[in-house]
Amino acid sequence: MNPAAKIRSFHPPQRVLMGPGPSDMHPRVLGALGQPVIGHLDPAFVGMMEELKDLLRYAFQTKNSLTFPVSGPGSVGMETCFVNLVEPGDKVIVCRNGVFGGRMIENVQRCGGNAVVVEDAWGEPVDPNKLEDALRANPDAKVVAFVQAETSTGALSDVRALAGVARQRGALTIVDAVTSLGGSKLQVDAWGVDAAYSGSQKCLSCTPGLSPVTFSERAVERVKARKTKGQSWFMDLGLVLEYWNAPGGKRTYHHTAPINALYALHEALVLLREEGIENAWIRHRRHHLALRAGLEAMGLGFLVREEARLPQLNAVHVPAGIDEAAVRSRLLGDFNLEIGAGLGPLAGKIWRFGLMGHSCRIENVMLCLSALGAVLADVGHAVDLGLAEAAAHDVYAAHHAEEASLRKPAELKRA
């Protein structure tokens, strides 16, 4: 019998996504995905493309004209930055403190550039002093590249300080903002970032497969001054911008855009604007503090020190003697809850709890604590689940009390 004859329509299980990505999608974003397909050169679609660029400028906190979503995941956004800004023979300083800094190094090498690597320990943020030393030793470096939010560890690096060091030495900056955009403070213009890329499936809570990018005027000038063609036809800004950024609005066919995914990104960015980006940053921080309180009450320790910790990606040490994969399997099978495992040298040693976008909600925090506590107790790790849940509730109660105290003077003034 033909095995294909048994295949029917696919209906995925309903999960709660609290891993390193993707995140849960808001119902409005899911609804946007189901709207009718129209042509990628349709005037209505072209109008939506213009709105998308404005919405992304808000998310990146920039006025950069060259801001748009690349058709591909965050890895394609990364390649777009390197392919256009790095020429053969260029010296590029790459800061590595986890998996994704390592991918930047490979991009430099594939572009024919020379990578000078600044190393920091996994779980530590990038050290601006080390970057300054590297630039002093390599005054001919054209580009500095680093990850703001290292997804493999949950470490948050200081973009303002790092970009400032690079600019003082005349180098352009490429910033990986895949896990930070919409969840952690990022101000491209105010901090002097030249190129940044992100992903649609993390704190923006959209479907995977799109990579927002933004380029400063300095970066655009570098692209225009290239002596060689970039190694990628698809990611060549000189070609793709004839579709995304054509003068007078007349677009030239480059590729068939992922139309429904772009509808979804548009709606996700409308939701971000409605919430207010500062409020989104605060929300991710608030739920991180509640989750942290509960996890610590269970006796679990964090990989990253608090002052360098990424709110939306919480890396926690696995207790001694616990089969971390078995715990994740139980959470998925019994509670439909997905969390992430460690990567590279941290494989088997940490869990990664994501609090991104629409997944960053009180009900998810409390589900995570109760489910994890139940599974840990079953596998022999003693936890006081009531204490963990109470610790999280205390954080929320303190937040509500603070909000009430802030509202009261305003209400009295109106009265």
Residue 118: give the domain boundaries.
27-273
Q: What confidence tier does 85 reach under pLDDT thresholds 50, 70, 90? A: very high
Do 259 and 369 belong to one domain?
A: no
**Which of 273, 295, 310 lies at the terminal end of a domain, its last residue?**
273
Shared-domain flag, residues 56 and 188: yes
The pLDDT, as a whole number, for residue 230 is: 87
User: What are the tens digits of pLDDT across the range 125-181?
Assistant: 999 999 999 999 999 999 999 999 999 999 999 999 999 999 999 999 999 999 999
Backbone angles phi, psi at 57, to 5 degrees: -60, -40
Q: How many domains does the chain have?
A: 2
Instruction: Identify the band that residue 413 occupies on the pLDDT scale cut at 50, 70 and 90.
Output: low
pLDDT at residue 405, rounded to an integer:
74
pLDDT tens digit sequence for 320-330? 999 999 999 99
Contact criterion met (CB below 8 Å) for 343 and 122? no
Same domain, yes or no: 96 and 198: yes
Strand partners, 195: 174, 215
100 and 199 in a single domain? The answer is yes
Judge whether 76 lies within some domain: yes
109 lies in the same domain as 183: yes
Least confident interval from 114-123, 150-159, 252-261: 252-261
Q: Is the pLDDT of residue 4 over 60?
A: yes
What average pLDDT does range 49-60 have in this prediction? Answer: 96
Q: What average pLDDT does the chain have?
A: 94
Domain shared by 35 and 111, yes or no: yes
Residues 93 and 240 in one domain: yes
What are the backbone angles phi and psi of residue 237, rounded to the nearest 5°? -60, -35
Q: Which of 5-9, 237-241, 262-266 comes out lowest in average pLDDT?
A: 237-241
Which of 226, 243, 273 is a domain's end point?
273
Backbone angles phi, psi at 177, to 5 degrees: -120, 30
Q: What is the pLDDT of residue 54?
A: 97
User: What pLDDT does 411 receive?
Assistant: 55
Q: Are residues 108 and 176 in the same domain?
A: yes
In this predicted structure, the answer to whether residue 243 has a pLDDT above a threshold of 80 is no
Regarding whether 141 and 53 lie in a shared domain, the answer is yes
Per-residue pLDDT at 258 exceeds 70: yes
Q: Which comes out higher in pLDDT, residue 406 or 120?
A: 120
Asked if residue 314 has pLDDT above 70, the reply is yes
Residue 167 included in any domain: yes
pLDDT value for 41: 86
Q: Are 144 and 262 part of one and the same domain?
A: yes
DSSP 75-142: HHHHHHHHHHH--TT-EEEEEESSHHHHHHHHHHHHTT-EEEEEE--TTS---HHHHHHHHHH-TT--
